[in-house]
Structure formats: structure tokens, C-alpha cells
Chains A and B, each alone.
Chain A
Amino acid sequence: MKKIFQLGGLQILKEIEKGNLSKEEVYHHFKERIERIDPLINSFIEVYDYQSTQKGVPLAVKDNICIQGKRISCASRILSSHIAVYDATVIRKIKQEGLLILGTTNMDEFAFGSSCENSCYYPTKNPWNLGKVAGGSSGGSAAAVAARLVPFALGSDTGGSIRQPAAFCGVVGFKPTYGRVSRFGLVAFGSSLDQIGPITTNFSDCAYLLNIICGFDEGDSTSANIEVSDFKKALIEDVRGLKIGIPQEYFQEGLDEEVREAVFEVAKSLEKKGAKISEISLPHSQYAVATYYIIACSEASSNLQRFDGIKYGYRKDNKDLLDLYKETREEGFGVEVKRRVFLGTYSLASGYYDDYYLRALKVRTLIRKDFEKAFSCVDIILTPTSPTPAFGLGEKIEDPLGMYLSDIYTVSVNLAGVPAVSFPCGFTKEDLPVGAQLIGRPFEEAMLVKVGYTYENSHKDFFEKIPPLGDG
């Protein structure tokens, strides 16, 4: 008999419904686990008291999604005392479903980062190796799910913030099509790129959460009024005749050898089940990181202006208004936030706008067209999620450019607005998980679920392996 934490979210739900487990028992099981194990990895920011809900399966939420009456900090000092006054649309849906919101998870401040080290609280460590980063920015959610401190969690993905930590921690991280999930209540980073998505240990749970959170919301003008299919129906093993593209640009210099091999193994495995593999080209890939950082930082510089000490959050009082702004933001924001606000402000400044922001928008269109072209030949694209497995804590914190380059395989997806998922596809010799990324056509999330599920069925060990954190 498996222990509770070894079960997926849906399995726990089934046991609760059958009467084999009580909701309180499940809550206390995870609460006890968090108390015992989380001090090692620091994945949670806050764990809530038990509350009776209809279904009782616990879920953790990244600390940039509003839960009414709860603290929402975005792991920033400037918001550390802020209480959300309303529920994000996804939270309203989660509550309607009757899941239990267990607590909030750590992240890079305002989702700016790829390592979960830029938190005003503490860095989150990789459950597979405490000397490595969890990835970011949804590192808390990914680490908590990987360590089985919670069956599943919500993250947000602006340039890989769900997929990269999912890859580093060996779990499934899904970024839906831009417009598929309401952003209402998600503290904005790059408004034209942000999407909320699930982080789970398997594709069945992933489909379950997608069913809950996807769909049109009139409170979000960028939300797509396009029908959502039942993702449970995509949980079938069927890749026969499926055309999978491998972009040559994603397998060049800088890609770790073990990661390359693991991803090729995925291709082989799917080929064996009837898929057709072909090489494709996404020619503008080399510009993706630069384009992404200009657009994301420009939007972020504007989005973060509201944190000024006037209305809510941290304030450094001063008789002079300008000094109040300056000192509040100087003390309230961390280094990486300031770096990106500077970068974005510069890109939008008159005299620079045309050369940076406007040019980035044009390249973004080219990148989107790359995908459109690719998807006229193939059904789905397979790539590594990250060029390397989890890197060392502190290794890249002084090297922002190196850090940004770790997003090289994920940012294009957000620029193009297409859906993508990272899932575990093996382990390195150091026993660090490796993630593979599947990219799909806009609003064809179901296809990703189907292919992922097919792969998972023959590689259950990658999905079920639990990091050794003193559990006997």
C-alpha cells in the first residue's frame, strides 16, 4: 500500500471519495510532511490551516496569484504585508471545484528569474540535490510537487517559469496557450506573455487541473473565447501517424550532452509507438532571448510602477513625494527587479523605443511566423526544456546574461503564444532530472496532453521517482 504522498492528486481524490481517506487525514499528512521536509528545500512561503472543502485534495499556489484574504507577496519586500482583496479567476474556479488551497509557494521576486534565488525570503533548493537550484520562477511550486509536499500546484509562465523549474525538479509543468487561462488576479510581469498553468507529477493530474482553470473570462480582455475540450478525453495512448518536429536550432552549441541524449530518447520512444520524426527549422530562434527580455522587461517596468508606497505594500515615508517613491522602491525591490525595470524603462524611452521595443515587436512577429510555418509541416515540436539540468545555487546569480540564456528553449513559446509542456524524460549521472518540452499549435493543449500521456505510460519510473529526502 502506497503512502498518501506517493499518490497523485486524482488518486487521492478517488481514495477520499471511496472513503478510504478522510480530508483531514490528507491535509495533516501533507502538513506534517511540509513541517519535516520543507525546511530542507524552502518551497513554501505560507501554509494555511485546515479548512473544509468539498473535495479536500490539497493544491499549492504560487505567491503571485490572488487569494482573497490571504497574503500575496510575489516574494517581494514591497508587497510582503499585502493581503489580496479578491480571488483571481483561477482561484475562484479552484474553490468552486472544491480543492483545498494548502498554501503559497516561493518564487523569484515578481517572477523575475530562472533559479528561485531572487526571493525576498529564501532561495528554494532542488529536492534532488540541495546544492542545486529549483529553477524559476515557479521554483517553489515545482519543488513542492517534486518533493511530494503537495500533490499539485499552480505556477505562472512568462518565459519558461513553469516549464524550466518543472524540468529541473522532474515534474510535469504546463503552459497553456496565451488567452486560454484568465490572467485576472495574476500579478502581472509581462502582460502579453504571462499564463497560469499546472505543475503536477503526471499527465492525468495535469489534464484534471487544465479542465478546471482553462476557459474564457470576460474579466480578462485577452482571454480567448474559444471552446475548451475535455482534457480527460486526451488521456489516451495514441501517437500513430503523429508528425513530430525537432528544431535543429535547439540542438546546437551549449546543449548539455546528457540532456540531448534524453530528449532524443523521447523521440525514439514516440517513434516506436508510431509517430513520425522530422527535422524542422525555427530560423529566428537565436533572437528569442534578446527579444523576450526587451518585451518582458518593458511591460514589467510599466506593470511594476503601481508599487509606489502610496496605496498598499511597503512604504518608506518621506516628506518629499519623489524621495518617497525613490526610497520605497529602492528598499522594496530586489536587485533583479531593479535590473529589469531599468532595462524595460530604457527600451521604452523616447529615442530608444524604435531600436529596442519596436524592433523586438517585429522580431516577435517573425518568431510567431516561424512556428506557424513549422506547424504547417508537423503536429507537434519536441525540444529540451533547458540546455542543462539544474545548475548550482549561486552559480549564475552574478551572471545575469548566463541566467537569461538558460531560458533559450522556453521564451520563444511565450513570444509566439503557443502552448507547451515540460515533462521528466530521464536522469543524469548525477541523478538530476532532465525535462523534455513539447510545443503545440495554439489552443491544441489536448494534443500535448495526449502525447505526454502516451510517453508517460511507458516511462512511469521517470514520473514516479521521488527525491530522497529522508522518507524511508
Chain B
Amino acid sequence: MNPLALVGAHTRVGFLDLLRWPGYVVPTVVFPAMFFVLFDLPFARQSAEIANFTTLAFIVFAIAGVTLYQFGIGIASERGRPWERYLRTLPASAFVRFAARIITAVLFGILTAGVVALVSRALTPVDLSTAQWLRMLLYSLAGGVPFVLIGIAIGYWTSSRAAVPIATACNLLLAYAGGLWMPPSELPHFVQVISPYLPTRQFADLLRSAVGEGNAGPAWTGLILYAVIFASIAAVGYRRDERKRYA
């Protein structure tokens, strides 16, 4: 009834429903860690410095991927379902439903990132203090938000079929150009030029600042801008869907 308690209730229900699909949860949660092991381990093993850098990049990859891809597609396929329609008859505002979705997505992303972190700690010389891990966790809570909003925007502006390839393309391009798979300095020149403006790069910069490297100012600004822009695109998409479905 108070909106925060309702956000809690909607988040709990969304999270429970999700967690009980092992066929969905296991591959989704394991995928980024598997990617890390397959493609990154040889480099990450070379030094603590490289291990730190790549672990952090894969944490961003994990969170950005899960939030944008899974939840974006989720919206596209769920928005016509009877349960969604029923939720609209309950005394909860659209704000409550969206806030719960964003929180669920970010928490799920962090779960996925946690697996990457555990694998990295077990198999690489990664060298981060507890305080640094915790600060990364904290920053990740914020850093995931723009990606959920991008996902929701995709979900509202595409059909459930189109959402899959579009979200995949966004995901892979953003990971590549954001310098998550190789150091930004090794990207082709033109990609280096745009890279700092991409949310994946900004999220990674944010986490770098969390472990004491560089200044997070521009990254915060960029991520907040992305959040605002995509929240607006999602809101317009939501209203458009509302008019189509419920007018």
C-alpha cells in the first residue's frame, strides 16, 4: 500500500517466479562466467593487473547482458499476457510495476556477475580487497539501471520476435565497442573514438573507479543521461502500447 512496500512485493514475486525456472536461471547465470573461462582465462592468468581488469569487464558484460537482453525481451513477450492485464486492475501504479522490474533485473544481473567474480577468484590471480569488491557491488546496483531501461525500451518498441535479434545485436556491439573483450586501447581507431560515449564503457569506467582507477565523473554523467533518455523512450513506448492495447 505504501508504494515502497508494493515495490517490494512486486519485486519478490518477480524474482521468485524467475528463480524457479532452473532451465532459464542456470544457463543465464552461468553464461558470462563460461565466456570468461573460455576466452579470457589465458590472459587473466598472466597477472593480477590483467585479472582485475578482465574480471571487472566481465562483470559489466554479465550485468549489461542479463538486464538488457533478458528483461528487454521479457517485456516484449509479457506485455500482452493476462497476468499483466490483471496487475493493472490492482491498486498499484505503473511506477510500482516498473520499479519492481528494474530492481529484479539488476539483482539478477548481480547474481550473474557474482558467478563471474567467484570463478575469477578461484582461477585467476585477481587481487581486490573486500572493500573494493563491495564498492563494485554498490556501483553495479546503479550501473545496471540504464541497461534495464534500454531493455525495456526495446521491449516496448519491438515485437517479441524482433526483440531477440535487436537485443542480441545491441548487447554484443556494446560489449565489443565498450572495450569489455579487449582493452579499449586495442580497439580499432574509430571505435576508440566512440567508445567513451557507450554505456558499457562508462559502466566499466565506473567499476574501475570503484577499485581506485580513474575518475568516475564522466561515467556517472553518461550513465545518468542514458538512464534518462531510455526511461523517456520506454515511457513513450509504454503509453503507445497502452493506447493500442487498452484504448
Partners in one complex: no
Give B residues with C-beta under 8 Å from A.
Answer: none
Give A residues with C-beta under 8 Å from B.
Answer: none
